[in-house]
């Protein structure tokens, strides 16, 4: 990873306290263009708080977050989305009874052009279905036959696919994925890892939060190890083994010199 | 970008095992469906089919049992008249139930607003159109109050609307002095209040404006729910409120609007009810709350929210009307009408549970 590139998303010294608990303790974060950055850490290390701060779900007490060099201060997930940061939540945030197309455009529906759209808010169902189908086939997911099928009739992997497709379709700067393979079987995880590679190949940087070391080592370009509320180190998966990573994460082994810390 | 060429680091046992594991991509199997599964899938995709089938069957059966009288245009238009007020209330109820809530106060809002319209027009001499408008705005306010308590004070809809049901009923008795406003008085001072009781004769049928109003209310709500973003958000909130929130929907604001819109529809129902009854009666429609829920449930809208079409409750209300009319024409005691509707409600919910269990 070359360090002369500017980070897309950068955080410096961010702090988040919940009462007397400090979830983020002057944490730093860097995401470079086009890379898959995995974030690993023990339970309670502050991974979720870090991701929530980046995706606008919480606002930080101290520190700065910059997107393309411009400071940002999101107060809601909606603002982060408008800035081009899309998040695939662990629970996917899909509405099971609604169709695939409805879910993909939830919260940013397209209106029909002309009188009915302008004055009666008429939705352009045909266009939304067409785009949803296109986005899914772009990611090789068109084994899903019927775009108007309810999401609850899909398998776990297919649902994950819909959520990833939604993020990839609308995320213009960064896609954040929180434990995308945690609820899936071996084969379906495979599919999602391929999706991650697909999204990456289109130049979109990805933040991947995962507990699954084989998955992390397979897709990540760099690994951000989070420990005790801050970034412990960033390692290259080619230089360390999985057990090394776990050792850093749990504190069983001394961290290497940070290879790209500011 | 670093390429993933083999590196010199040593592989560990579990990594070596991984190498030999199946790396083929998941295939989505098409399993054979039997007839039972197919029916379940069809109904899952078309939730209004159950009530439509029940309506058609009940019309055919009561046609046989009750004979030609049942099919007379007069009787069929009478059924429409009889269900019009409960039908409109069921439309209001559907909005709330789609968000996984329940509104026990719809009937009380309606009667209170009809009393307000009547008192303003008759006792205070306010022009009838203004009195009606104030009643409708009052409906919005009453509904929005339910919505506020549900979203901001975070109380369960059942408790909130159980409370406001009593509050609105008490206000209604206080404002009306428990006195009805008679039909003749309305005719003299504010005949507009009785507008929806008037009808167009059409062959032997007498179609009241109230029946037409019911169809218009359902048509407008169908459009809003299916063809505007707001409508899709209502479904999403009922389905999974947290997911809707993360998708960027302002759920509490939408919920207050849902209760407010339901209140407006109750205000419209208030005007229609004056026409239907012919007078302003504070004691009328005491069971309207529960009858509206019955129509919604028979119409295939899930009490768990997010599922069902707004057209269902219209069919549900008509089914209740057809049962009552058919059994009466067949000379069956009125208690068996109530008995039949009770079973129908239970069966409707059982079918809903079964459809919801559909899997891929």
Predicted complex ipTM: 0.82
**Beta carbons within 8 Å of A6's beta carbon, 6+ residues apart:** A32, A33, A68, A69
Supply B254's token pair: 């939408």
Cα–chain center distance at A140 = 19
Give the span between the Cα atoms of A12 and A66, in whole angstroms. 9
Q: Does B236 touch chain A (CB under 8 A)?
A: yes
* Phi and psi torsions of A237, nearest 5°: -65, -20
Cα–chain center distance at B221 = 10
pLDDT of the residue at B294: 93
Beta-strand relationship, A206-209 and A222-227:
unpaired
Across the interface, of A77, A150, A158, the residue whose CB is closest to B248 is A77
Beta-strand relationship, A206-209 and A174-178:
parallel
- A201-247, pLDDT tens digit by residue? 888 999 999 988 999 999 999 999 999 888 989 899 999 888 888 88
Supply A92's token pair: 């996917």
Residues of chain B with pLDDT under 50: 1-8, 25-29, 360
Q: Which residue in this structure is represented by tokens 């109820």? A: B93
The C-alpha of B226 sits at a distance from chain A's nearest C-alpha, in angstroms, of: 8
pTM of the model: 0.85
Element of type H or E holding B208: strand B205-208
| Cβ–Cβ under 8 Å, residues B94 and B238 | no
The 3-state DSSP class for residue B95 equals: helix
pLDDT of the residue at B233: 95
Burial class (CB in 10 A: 0-12, 13-18, 19+), B13: exposed
The chain B residue lying nearest A222, using CA atoms, is: B2
**Beta carbons within 8 Å of B303's beta carbon, 6+ residues apart:** B97, B100, B102, B297, B349, B352
DSSP string, chain A: --SSSPPSEEEEEEEEEETTEEEEEEEEEEE-TT-EEEEEE-TTSSHHHHHHHHTTSS--SEEEEEETTEEE--SSHHHHHHTTEEEE-TTTT--TTSBHHHHHTTTSPPBPSSHHHHHH--B-HHHHHHHHHHHHHHTT-TT---TTSBGGGS-HHHHHHHHHHHHHHH-SSEEEEESTTTT--HHHHHHHHHHHHHHHHTT--EEEE-S-HHHHHHH-SEEEEEETTEEEEEE-TTTS-HHHHHHHHHTSSPPPPPSS--
Q: Does A90 touch chain B (CB under 8 A)?
A: no
Fold observed for domain B47-354? ABC transporter involved in vitamin B12 uptake, BtuC (1.10.3470)
The chain B residue lying nearest A55, using CA atoms, is: B246
Cα–chain center distance at B39 = 25
Q: Does B20 touch chain A (CB under 8 A)?
A: no
The C-alpha of B327 sits at a distance from chain A's nearest C-alpha, in angstroms, of: 37
A92/B359 touch (CB, cutoff 8 Å), yes or no: no
| Cβ–Cβ under 8 Å, residues B311 and B214 | no
Ranges of each domain in chain B: 47-354
Ranges of each domain in chain A: 9-250
pLDDT of the residue at A142: 63
DSSP string, B226-271: HHSHHHHHHHHHHH-HHHHHHTT--HHHHHHHHHHHHHHHHHHHHH
The C-alpha of A142 sits at a distance from chain B's nearest C-alpha, in angstroms, of: 11
Q: Which residue in this structure is represented by tokens 């729910």? A: B225
DSSP string, A24-54: EEEEEEEE-TT-EEEEEE-TTSSHHHHHHHH
pLDDT of the residue at B123: 92
The chain B residue lying nearest A166, using CA atoms, is: B247
**Superfamily for the A9-250 domain:** P-loop containing nucleotide triphosphate hydrolases (3.40.50.300)
Supply B35's token pair: 């007839």
Give the span between the Cα atoms of A65 and B277, in whole angstroms. 65
Q: Does A241 touch chain B (CB under 8 A)?
A: yes
**Beta carbons within 8 Å of B353's beta carbon, 6+ residues apart:** none
Across the interface, of A97, A122, A190, the residue whose CB is closest to B227 is A122
Element of type H or E holding B205: strand B205-208
Give the span between the Cα atoms of B222 and B315, in whole angstroms. 13
A95/B248 touch (CB, cutoff 8 Å), yes or no: no
pLDDT of the residue at A249: 87
Q: Does A97 touch chain B (CB under 8 A)?
A: yes
| Cβ–Cβ under 8 Å, residues A64 and A26 | no
pLDDT of the residue at B19: 60
Supply B40's token pair: 């379940």
CB pairs under 8 A between A and B: 124
Burial class (CB in 10 A: 0-12, 13-18, 19+), B14: exposed
Residues of chain A with pLDDT under 50: 1-2, 258-262
Give the span between the Cα atoms of A33 and A6, in whole angstroms. 8
B26/A96 touch (CB, cutoff 8 Å), yes or no: no
Q: Which residue in this structure is represented by tokens 């309305």? A: B186
């Amino acid at each position: 990873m070359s360090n002369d590139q500017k980070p897309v998303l950068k955080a410096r010294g961010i702090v988040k306290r919940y009462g007397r608990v400090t979830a983020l303790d002057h944490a730093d974060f860097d995401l470079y263009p086009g890379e898959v950055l995995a974030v690993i850490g023990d339970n309670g290390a502050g991974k979720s708080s870090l991701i929530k701060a980046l995706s606008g779900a919480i606002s930080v007490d101290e520190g700065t977050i910059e997107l393309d060099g411009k400071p940002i201060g999101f107060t809601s997930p909606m603002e982060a989305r408008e800035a081009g940061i899309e998040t695939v939540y662990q629970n996917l945030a899909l509405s099971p009874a609604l169709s695939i197309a409805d879910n993909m455009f939830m919260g940013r529906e397209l209106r029909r052009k002309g009188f009915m759209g302008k004055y009666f808010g008429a939705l352009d169902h045909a266009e939304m279905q067409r785009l949803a189908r296109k986005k899914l086939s772009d990611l090789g997911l068109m084994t899903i036959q019927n775009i108007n099928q309810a999401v609850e009739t899909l398998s776990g992997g297919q649902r994950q696919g819909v959520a990833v497709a939604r993020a990839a379709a609308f995320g213009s700067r960064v896609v954040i994925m929180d434990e995308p393979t945690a609820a899936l079987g071996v084969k379906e995880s495979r599919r999602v890892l391929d999706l991650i590679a697909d999204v990456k190949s289109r130049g979109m940087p990805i933040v991947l939060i995962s507990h699954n070391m084989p998955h992390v080592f397979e897709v990540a370009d760099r690994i951000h190890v989070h420990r005790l509320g801050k970034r412990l180190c960033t390692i290259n998966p080619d230089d360390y083994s999985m057990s090394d990573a776990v050792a850093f994460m749990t504190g069983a082994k001394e961290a290497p010199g940070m290879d790209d810390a500011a | 970008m670093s390429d993933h060429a083999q590196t010199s680091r040593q592989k560990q046992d579990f990594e070596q095992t991984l190498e030999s594991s199946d790396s083929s991509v998941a295939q989505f199997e098409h399993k054979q469906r039997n007839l039972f599964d197919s029916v379940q899938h069809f109904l899952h995709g078309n939730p209004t089919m159950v009530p439509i089938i029940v309506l058609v069957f009940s019309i055919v059966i009561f046609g046989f049992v009750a004979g030609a009288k049942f099919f007379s245009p007069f009787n069929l238009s009478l059924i429409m008249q009889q269900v019009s007020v409960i039908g409109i209330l069921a439309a209001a109820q559907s909005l709330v139930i789609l968000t996984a809530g329940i509104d026990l106060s719809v009937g009380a809002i309606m009667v209170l607003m009809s009393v307000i319209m009547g008192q303003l027009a008759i006792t205070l001499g306010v022009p009838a159109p203004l009195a009606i408008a104030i009643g409708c705005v009052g409906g919005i306010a009453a509904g929005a109050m339910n919505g506020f308590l549900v979203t901001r004070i975070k109380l369960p809809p059942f408790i909130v609307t159980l409370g406001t049901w009593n509050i609105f009923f008490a206000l209604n008795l206080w404002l009306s002095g428990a006195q009805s406003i008679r039909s003749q008085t309305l005719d003299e001072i504010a005949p507009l209040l009785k507008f929806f009781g008037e009808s167009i004769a059409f062959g032997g049928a007498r179609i009241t404006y109230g029946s037409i109003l019911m169809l218009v209310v359902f048509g407008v709500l169908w459009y809003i729910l299916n063809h505007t973003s707001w409508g899709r958000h209502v479904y999403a909130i009922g389905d999974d409120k947290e997911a809707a929130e993360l998708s960027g929907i302002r759920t509490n604001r939408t919920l207050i609007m849902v209760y407010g819109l339901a209140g407006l529809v109750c205000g419209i129902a208030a005007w229609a009810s004056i026409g239907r009854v012919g007078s302003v009666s504070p004691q009328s429609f005491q069971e309207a709350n529960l009858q509206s829920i019955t129509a919604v449930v028979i119409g295939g809208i899930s009490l768990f929210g997010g599922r069902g079409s707004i057209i269902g409750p219209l069919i549900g209300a008509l089914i209740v009307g057809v049962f009552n009319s058919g059994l009466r024409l067949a000379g069956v005691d009125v208690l068996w009408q109530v008995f039949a509707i009770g079973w129908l409600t239970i069966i409707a919910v059982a079918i809903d549970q079964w459809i919801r269990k559909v899997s891929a």
